[in-house]
Each structure stands twice: as C-alpha cells, then as structure tokens.
Amino acid sequence: MQPLEFMNRLLSRTLVLGVLLPVLHGCSARPVSGPPPVADPVDELSAGGPITPVPAQAKFAPARVELGRRLFLEPRLSHDDSLACAGCHPLDRGGMDGRARSPGANGVLSPRNTPTVFNAALNFRQFWDGRADSLERQIDGPVNNPDELGSSWAEVVQKLGRDPSYVTAFAAVYGRPVTPEGVRDAIATFERTLIYRRSRFDLFLAGDTAAMTMEEKQGFELFQEFGCASCHQGANVGGNMFERMGVIGDFFAGRGDPSDSDLGRFSVTGRPEDRFVFRVPSLRLVSLTAPYLHDGSIATLRETVTAMARHQLGRRISDAEARLLELFLQTLPGVPEGSFGAAPR
C-alpha cells in the first residue's frame, strides 16, 4: 500500500469513528475544544481525524513563568516545609512520581494515582473527578488538603511574605505583595509551559509517513478500529470528556474492594448516574507514567491496554494486538518544552 493511500485510509476511519463511537459507547460528555492551533509546521494537519497535533505554546511573560517555577519547587507551600508541588510531580520523570498513590506532607497516601502535570493545560477539567475547571482552581486542592500539602493560603502568604526575594518578585510581576491569587496565577502560568509536543505521531499526522514504523502505524489503525479514539482524542489524546470506568464490563467487581475514591464524579455531583465516571485520561505521556488508572492498580502499559479493551470496549484482544497498540502509544509523547531547573533560594 502506498503511504498516501495508507494515510487517507487511517484518517477517514478516524473521522468516522470520532463521530459515531461516542454514541455507540455512551460517552457521557461531548469533547471540549482546546485552544486554536498556533501557526507551526507540525500543526498543518490534513482534514479528518479526532486526534490533532499538540499546538505551540502561548507566550507568557518570562518573569511570571520564573516566579511560577520557583513556587512549583517551593516546599514552603506545605505546612511543615517538607513537600513542594514537584514532590508528586517531578519534572524529570514525566511529571508524576511513579507511585500508585503519593504520600502527602504528613505521610498519608493520596486516594488516587497522581496524574502527570505535563500537558495538563490541555485538559478541560483537572483532577480525576474533574472538580476543578482550571489550573488555578486545581492549586487550591493540594494546598488546603490536610493529607497533601496540609497548609492554608493564610499560612502560605505569611511564610512567603517573610522572604525578601519573593516580596521583590511579586512586586515586579504583579505590582503588589504576595497574595493567594498571585501564587495561583504564577504556578498555573508555569504549568501552562509544561508541554510535550512534536512527537513522531504528530509528525506523521503532518504528512511525514516515515516518522512511524509500519508496526506503529498498524497500532494506530487498531486504535481506531477498536474504538479507542472515541474517547481518547483531541490534542491531548484524551482529557476532554468524562466517561464511566467499565462501560462494558464491571471493572470494580473484578478488582474488588471499591472505595469512595472509586466513585469519581459522583463525589462532586451526588448524581447516581455519575458513579464510577472519571475524566478520560490523556494518553500523550502514557508510555512514561506508569502505574495506570485512577487507582494505580495496573503496573504496565501492555496490561492496561488489554484491561481497557475488555472493560471499555468489550473486546478481548490478543497479545500481538496489545503489543501493536503499545508501540503506537509510545510514539505520542514528543519532547518537553519549558524550563525545569532548580529554584533559587
């Protein structure tokens, strides 16, 4: 098969599946569009297909980004000065700590697996249950949670306000003293620069058919044929809708011991139909961010692919098919952009 014919067949199938499969599989919310692509060679996608290249970053004031970087790495955001945002989201390890559940400042384990902070700006909601509608609102969660940073905004402002370097930085960036709004804005601005892009898959979408191997292309074809693209779509290959965990098969019956952390959106809305509904995770960095699922219960990507095919799509796939899907997923990350160095003290 010629490369152009192969590309057209893949994109045509993706377009059809992107329209029909959300209906067939009962996706519980329509995809939410991300920001419009910025002019860039990688963003010149041929027509069709629900998966799009990661757009170029917006430009932010360097001083605001640098302040956010310092705060992201600042352990004084925690009550006992022991844990920074980067403690659970290490930037040199794919933006998450590789644990099934992360310990907070007091040693208590989080109820859910820590998502990566990279490409989080592309998600339409934050947290597995989608309770925060922006990066700024997400920051309130760990600061005020006694089992995470265990602090409060009053305590954070007081501690940072005693540091002359922060006083100077906030005055320069915001024209005012340290405030909760300023801390939120600075950290969220820095997080918006934490983007992986220009992946081999994005290059393939832009027309470079040599960017992927034949087996990786076969994995992409299976990804569409099986219906994975009905929920894992957009620039982040997910993160833009809610879906039930166990559309076809009861995941929790097989795993056993369901807990409050498994209730998903129900904990936010209280609606019975939201039980076990979660924000669909992004797959952009999935090959770098084991273990998997909201509970961190599956150790490897191959196992996760097989389990999701069974519980979300009602398919029992072969080892060979799981391998091809895994090979495709390994083409998605790209390279990180942004500045991740240690914060000066």
Place of tokens 């540091």: 163
What is the C-alpha to C-alpha distance for residues 36 and 30, in angstroms, rounded to an integer? 18
From first CA to last CA, the distance across the chain in angstroms is 59
Confidence of residue 315 (pLDDT cuts 50, 70, 90): very high
% helix, strand, coil for the chain, step of 5: 45, 5, 50
* 5 contact partners, CB below 8 Å, separation of at least 6: none
Which tens digits make up the pLDDT trace of 101-159?
999 999 999 999 999 999 999 999 999 999 999 999 999 999 999 999 999 999 999 99
Q: Is the confidence at residue 19, as pLDDT, over 70?
A: no
Q: Is the peptide bond before 291 cis (omega within 30 degrees of 0)?
A: yes
Long-range contacts of 338-345 (CB under 8 A, 24+ apart): 338/57, 338/190, 338/193, 338/194, 338/195, 339/65, 339/66, 339/69, 339/193, 340/69, 340/91, 340/92, 340/194, 341/69, 342/73, 343/69, 343/70, 343/71, 343/72, 343/73, 343/74, 344/70, 344/165
pLDDT band at 18; cut points 50, 70, 90: very low
Q: What is the residue type of 185?
A: D
10-24, 84-98, 287-301 — which is least confidently predicted? 10-24
pTM: 0.85
Return d(Cα 297, Cα 208) in angstroms, integer: 37
Q: For position 257, what pLDDT does the model report? A: 82
Over residues 38-50, the mean pLDDT reads 43
Q: Measuring CA to CA, which residue among 244, 74, 206, 81 is closest to residue 150?
A: 81
pLDDT of residue 47: 30
pLDDT in tens, 158-193: 999 999 999 999 999 999 999 999 999 999 999 999
Strand 277-279, strand 335-337: pairing: unpaired
HSE value, Cβ hemisphere, 13 Å, CA-based, for 142: 30
Q: What angle do CA 43, 46, 50 make, to 5 degrees?
A: 80
- C-alpha 263/C-alpha 256 separation (Å) is 14
Give the separation between CA 11 and CA 292, rounded to whole angstroms.
28
**What pLDDT was estimated at residue 253?**
84
Q: Burial letters for 123-162: b for 16+ Cβ neighbours within 10 Å, e otherwise? A: bbbbbbbbbbeebbebbeebbeeeebbbbebebbbebbee
Q: Whole-angstrom Cα distance, residue 177 to residue 57? A: 29
pLDDT at residue number 195: 96
Token pair, residue 166, equals: 């922060």
Beta-bridge partner residues of 195: 337
Higher pLDDT, 248 or 35: 248
Does the annotation mark 148 as catalytic?
yes
pLDDT at 20 over 50: no
pLDDT band, very low/low/confident/very high, at 22 (cuts 50, 70, 90)? very low
- Higher pLDDT, residue 41 or 213: 213
Distance CA 311, CA 208 (A): 34
Provide CATH code, domain 62-192. 1.10.760.10
Q: How far is CA 2 from the centre of its chain?
A: 35
Of 3.30.930.10, 3.40.718.10, 1.10.760.10, 3.40.50.300, which CATH number belongs to 3-56+196-335?
Answer: 1.10.760.10
Residue 194, phi then psi, degrees to nearest 5:
-85, 85
**CA pair distance 325, 302, nearest whole angstrom:** 8
Q: Matching CATH topology for 3-56+196-335 and 62-192? A: yes
- pLDDT bin (cut points 50, 70, 90) of residue 21 is very low
**CB distance 56 to 195 below 8 Å:** no
Q: How confident is the model at residue 80 (pLDDT cuts 50, 70, 90)?
A: very high
Per-residue model confidence (pLDDT) at position 339: 61
Q: For the chain, what are the domain ranges?
A: 3-56+196-335, 62-192
pLDDT grade for 23, boundaries at 50, 70 and 90:
very low
Instruction: Name the 3-class secondary structure at 237.
Output: coil
Catalytic residue, candidates 148, 191, 216, 321? 148
Residue of 258 and 131 predicted with greater confidence = 131
Cβ pair 251, 311 in contact under 8 A: yes
Report, as an integer, the average pLDDT of 293-316.
Answer: 96
